[in-house]
């Protein structure tokens, strides 16, 4: 065993629209992994369940309201970054209230799962793409 590594729990969600596209957001300048495209979400705070984290983050970051039964577990990432080990459940969500807005100034894109590979994503995210393709299909352009 190597030195003890901090385990970081982050909840993420693939919002899926009526055209079978998935929402990704660009990580802003100044943050770790800046310029990479990621799924909305964030760190699970003390006392939170991952579903509560997502409901909170989706309200804060995108201005939409999601109900817990609409968050379906899809897959997860387990990835060793240099200074922590990321454990990141990825949920899928097709229903929400309100319109997605970039409330934190982040760039947003709706993309077909098969096109996710055209966007630089954090290394933890790449293994998650096949599960999304499987779930919603690659789309007509693939
Ligand atoms: N939300 C999200 N985070 C991801 C993904 N892939 C991935 O490696 N991460 C990592 C990046 C961060 O280290 C961590 C998420 O933390 P965060 O977004 O809540 O926090 P942050 O690094 O922006 O820092 P902070 O200022 O909010 O503390 O998980 C992803 O698809 N979505």
pLDDT category of residue 133 using cuts at 50, 70 and 90: very high
Supply the pLDDT for residue 142. Answer: 47
> Atom of ligand 1 at shortest distance to CA of 43?
19
The two tokens of residue 13 are 């969600």
Distance CA 91, CA 11 (A): 8
pTM here is 0.94
Distance 83 CA to ligand 1 centre (A): 13
pLDDT category of residue 66 using cuts at 50, 70 and 90: very high
Supply the pLDDT for residue 141. Answer: 55
Distance 88 CA to ligand 1 centre (A): 10
SS3 110: strand
pLDDT in tens, 2-13: 668 899 999 999
Mutation to probe ligand 1, out of 5, 11, 24, 38 (largest number of atoms < 8 A from CB): 38
Report DSSP letters for 2-57, one per residue: -S---EEEEEEEEEB-TTS-EEEEEPPTTSTTTT-EE-SEEEPPTT--HHHHHHHH
Nearest to 75 by CA among 124, 123, 34: 124
7-136 maps to CATH 3.90.79.10: yes
Distance CA 54, CA 116 (A): 21
Distance 41 CA to ligand 1 centre (A): 7
């Amino acid at each position: 065993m190597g030195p003890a590594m901090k385990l970081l729990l982050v909840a993420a969600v693939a919002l899926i629209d009526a055209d079978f596209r998935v929402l990704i957001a660009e990580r802003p300048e100044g943050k770790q992994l800046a310029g990479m495209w990621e799924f909305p979400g964030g760190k699970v705070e003390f006392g939170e369940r991952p579903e509560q984290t997502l409901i909170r983050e989706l309200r804060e970051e995108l201005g939409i309201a999601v109900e817990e039964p609409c968050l379906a577990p899809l897959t997860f990432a387990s990835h060793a970054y240099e200074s922590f080990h990321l454990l990141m459940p990825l949920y899928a969500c097709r229903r929400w209230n309100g319109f997605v807005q970039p409330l934190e100034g982040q760039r947003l894109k709706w993309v077909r799962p098969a096109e996710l590979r055209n966007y630089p994503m954090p290394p933890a995210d790449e293994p998650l793409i096949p599960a999304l393709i499987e779930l919603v299909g690659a789309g007509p352009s693939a």
